[in-house]
Amino acid sequence: MSVSYFFNLIAKIKYKFNNLADVFKLFTFLNNIHENTKLIKSKAKELGFDDCGISKIETFNNFTREKYNEWINSGFSADMQYMERNIDKRFDITKMVENAKSVISVILNYYPEVKQNTESYKISKYAYGYDYHKIIKDKLYKLFNFINNEISKISGRVFVDSAPVMEKQWAIKSGLGWQGKNSCLINKDIGSFFFVGEIVIDLELEYDKPINEYCGNCTKCIDACPTGAIEKPYVVNSNKCISYLTIEHKGEFNKNINIDFTDYIFGCDICQDVCPWNAKPVFSKIKEFKIFDAIKTFTYNNWENLNENDFNKIFKNSPLKRTKYSGIKRNINQIKKVKF
Ligand code: B12
Ligand code: SF4
Ligand code: SF4
């Protein structure tokens, strides 16, 4: 840029402002936003997050609202009544975090290097280690405190899978990935075996843009789903989804239900395992996500003979505690009923 061009530009800008001091104030403001954003993203990486993207607070567009309502009205949320509540908050996050300006989304890879014994009932990979809610929240609070102490006094909230927050949609808005036809968020570098979390704060930052989607003509996830739960691209019917049935469904199964859980007793990874974006997985570096010894070594027999006391001891800090001992037993019985 030539010097005269620069002075002309300043003159033009000055025309719109009262004086040069205002121009420099604006410049400093924008520069601070840029620097603050860089600091936050680099701290997120230092804390172990695989990626961090930032979006401006906005209410969701009509497409997202319509599709969400369609999903609920089709009954695809099954018995997860919490998905039907607080719809206004879901679409307008300022109803939960007053004066919110930015959503800082993070992703954390959980893909394990060591897998389960193959002669065993299956546990979804996200549940191999310690419960992710606490691990991600601890890291997010560290990031929150860093912003509060080193950048600017802020107010806001931290979320991980625990409130009516459209986590995938915020992460998509901030360029962390695209929504695959299996409905999971996919990141170009690490695939889809990751968790999502976010901090919502009242500080303005520099905003990322969504990226393209890269599913193309592929339909591997839809073809591989053993229960036909992916009704159409991007839409999962929880009533048929093994993940829902084995984890979220409460109580006994209806006697007429004949769904084959394909040996899964907690969650299901099939539509992600077949995805070409997971073909060269990057292993998680988070030690807390390493496979529990019991999950690694247990055989069919061990699961079948496990008593409630041992279950409670071994899985005290594991996602498996969500179904409780009775849920695991119920799932094993369902598998046996369909198999034999
Ligand atoms: C409810 C829920 C479930 C339900 C319902 C699943 C679902 N697809 O919604 C059940 C219990 C089945 C489930 C299962 C799993 N879950 Co879950 N779940 C959630 C939860 C709490 C809400 C998700 C939600 O809002 N669903 C509502 C529906 C309507 O949303 P949606 O599927 O994204 O729907 C959109 C698309 O259909 C889109 N759409 C419709 N038509 C079209 C067309 C086009 C062209 C496009 C682009 C989009 C589009 O519009 C809809 C509205 O935005 C989130 C946490 C959170 N608070 O966000 C975790 C979350 C999504 N789950 C997660 C995980 C890890 C899983 C499992 C992998 C666990 C497992 N291994 O068993 C499976 C995956 C199953 C699957 N294929 O989805 C992670 C996902 C991480 C990722 N990489 O995407 C989340 C984000 C939790 C977290 N904080 O990490 N889950
Ligand atoms: S998690 Fe399993 S059952 Fe659910 S949609 Fe994916 S493959 Fe189908
Ligand atoms: S398997 Fe294919 S269609 Fe399904 S999410 Fe992966 S790339 Fe997209």
Task: Please identify, by atom number, the ligand 2 atom nearest to the C-alpha of residue 244.
Answer: 4
With 50 as the cut, is the pLDDT of residue 135 above it?
yes
* Any domain includes 184: no
With 90 as the cut, is the pLDDT of residue 67 above it?
yes
Q: Provide the strand spans (E) within 169-294.
A: 178-179, 185-186, 194-201, 230-232, 235-236, 264-266
* Any domain includes 249: yes
With a 6 A CB cut-off, is 298 part of the ligand 3 pocket?
no
Q: Could you list the residue range(s) of the whole structural domain that residue 314 is in?
A: 220-278+292-339
Give residue 66 CA to ligand 3 midpoint distance, Å.
23
Number of domains in the chain: 1
* Any domain includes 226: yes
With 70 as the cut, is the pLDDT of residue 255 above it?
yes
* Any domain includes 271: yes
With a 6 A CB cut-off, is 225 part of the ligand 2 pocket?
yes
Q: Which ligand is nearest to the CA of 232?
A: 1
Give the residue, by CA position, lying nearest to ligand 1 atom 27.
68
CA 47, chain centre distance (Å): 17
pLDDT, the chain, mean: 94
Average pLDDT of span 172-196: 98
* Any domain includes 239: yes
* Any domain includes 266: yes
d(CA 79, CA 239): 8
* Any domain includes 243: yes
Per residue in 100-126, pLDDT (tens digit) is 999 999 999 999 999 999 999 999 999
* Any domain includes 232: yes
The active-site residue, picked from 138, 161, 189, 260, is: 161
The answer to whether residue 161 is catalytic is yes
For residue 221, give the 3-state DSSP assignment. Answer: helix
For a pLDDT cut of 90, what percent of the chain falls above it?
Answer: 87
In what helix (H) or strand (E) does residue 122 lie, and over which residues does it extend? strand 122-123
Task: Please identify, by atom number, the ligand 3 atom nearest to the C-alpha of residue 278.
Answer: 6
Predicted confidence band at 256 (pLDDT cuts at 50, 70, 90)? Answer: confident
With a 6 A CB cut-off, is 181 part of the ligand 3 pocket?
yes
Pair of tokens at residue 119: 């002669």
pTM of the predicted structure, to 2 decimals: 0.94
Give residue 113 CA to ligand 2 midpoint distance, Å.
22
